Structure 1
Amino acid sequence: MSPVSPLLELDGAVQADGLDAGVAAHYGNPMIEQRRLLAGEAVVDLSNRGVLGVAGPDRLTWLNSISSQELRSLAPGQSAETLLLDPNGRIEYAMDVIDDGVETWLILEAGELPGLHTWLDKMRFTLRVQVVDHSLAYAVIGTMAVDPAAVHLAPAAPNGVALTWRDPWSSVGNGGFQYADAPAHPAADWHWTEALVLRDRLPALRDAVRAGTVSAAGTLALEALRIAAWRPRRATEVDEKTLPHELDWLRSAVHLNKGCYRGQETVAKVHNLGHPPRRLVLLHLDGSDAVLPVHGDEVEATKQLADGETERRGVGVITSSARHHELGPIALAVIKRTVPADITLHVQSQGISVAAAQEVIVPQSAGSVAEIPRLPRLGIRTPGH
């Protein structure tokens, strides 16, 4: 467990619960915090995140062989994102990756760290790699600032390379593929950076916020901007059945032209020949009842019955929700692929039915990119023909 963050000592700090426990949900005004974060003027305390290090000369080829991203040529200081899949292509772990020429650093949700650490240790065999938990020595601080120094951040550089991870979600990565066909993808404005700082530097960051040198934003502000950018998060958008295709995660975390890895056959088959069974959507929620649905709330669609009557049927679940400073109440949801894109959905939350308009992220047509010619069916041939 990570130590209590010094930034929780700031005036107005309200600690988050659930997944983000241990850091501030907000510091008094989440809407202003969103604007400051988007403007590159604020930092987000993510010191409850897990940090693993993989050292040794075989580290990149080993990580490349077991995960979805091409990592063999990762240069010092370069950022990447990768997934560990089960044999059926379902997501098990998601990791932010940065290499400093000596060690590869993995940033992930704190709850995932023990399981991933154990699994990686089992997979080392005779390779020259060593996996170390760095969570007690290093903390994660996020920002939208182009230069971390502009928001009083000094990324650690134990091997001479600053440990600054820049989120590749802002564009389609080399070897990746985007299903979203929106004319302007909202990720173009998503300039997210995570700096690994020495944990004993956090009091100085707290003091800088108190002095007005930099602003602090809570996880509520971060979540609102993340949802608006259609950016999936392992802890919220993923369940035991999730394929990366369903979240449009081929965009930044999967390299479709790399060698074999666990789950690769399913990734290729669904992408080339099939369709993901579910799809991610952004929901614009009716805020008239002041109810914000939460993770796990059921999403329903109206179905026309044969006798002319209608009924509501469950078609998916809310994965994340927030109140956005411009868009109002919004949510990400994973729904059945076959649900029409132009119908109004309803979310059941706190005994209230909340109407929700869809904004398509992953379209119904996602997948089946391989154009395989169909051969004509051969009929019975008569003599002479």
Structure 2
Amino acid sequence: MGPLDSLRVIELGQLIAGPFCGQLLADFGADVIKVEPPKTGDVMRQWGRPGRNGDPVWWSVIARGKRSVTLDLRTPEGQDVLRDLVAEADVLIENFRPGTMERWGLGFEALSDINPRLIMARVSGFGQDGPYAARAGFASVCEAMGGMRHISGYPDRPPVRIGLSLGDSLAGMNAAMGILLALERRHVTGRGQVVDSSIFESVLGLTESIVAEYDAGGHIRERHGSSLPGIAPSNAYPTRDGKEMIIGANQDAVFGRLCQVMGVPELADDPRYATHRARGENAEELDARIAEWTRKHAADRMIEDLAAAGVPVGLAYTARDMMADPHFAARRSILEVDDPRHGGTLAMQNVFPRLSESPGTIRGLGPELGADTGEVLQGLLGYSAEKIAELEQSGII
């Protein structure tokens, strides 16, 4: 049994941030009822690269373990159905633009009147209040305003983005954490509350001491390529066989071990490199010396020698590398999940973190659109077959 087996979650909204929150809760056993527009469904069904059968596969990951119910929330009838669902739920996740739920008569106060124990997780670009609240807030913009883009890339080029919607996922993770915190509080008070998770603040929260450094000393952290200013050696280095090897040896004792493997133990006592500060001040020339050594040797042999010596080292992996790595296999970090629709299996990342007594599990790929509408409305809400047929005929579900 997963730790959230008793939790019922209604997931509204589309794209990544809110649905990723729902994925995390479903991974640990929550009954996540994904509410989608009739006929079209969540646009995530169309996002991402296709598999061999031609269908995009991202939906299979972000909607894994969920149930799909179609419902037109723009209609009074659809809103009434949602109110019935809320009455039986513990959590509602939504990532519409702030104010949308209120315009539909589905704001927190209205829903809390129906179910005082309801926890409402609201995921948005800029939060539920403030002068930017009504702005559209995609991860790309919020990552920039949260401080991530300015420090990403090389100093002589425009800022770059990581090849993931990192801000969305961070906001989803913060929403999930907020839900768990609100559940703990509900044990005491018996009442739910609002969890306000913004993308820009989720990014801001990861920026370490950037704000404090500016406030205390006027320092503005700048782009620094594949390394960090004042931290050396910690970079990507070329190998003889054309791979990118990451070495992190900036701590004194670890740097000494690196020098031993390189065959230049005296380098650890060189005044230019003997201390953390000295290595940071001379990072460029130190990186050049290490790169001169790494490009003479094959990656696998260097990794074996460095790892044996206690030096953090690894390659910049692609998905192909991950699936071939024995450590990933031993940890079951990637699972092959049965794909009944297309036959065979589909590989994806496993559930994290790991719990020793009540671990999460992947209970199935993302469902077909509306696959569970009848089951939920009849089994959970007690709707008659006639009422369900009427809603279906009118396009509400």
Which band: TM-score by shorter chain? under 0.3
Query: How does the TM-score come out when normalised to structure 2?
Result: 0.21
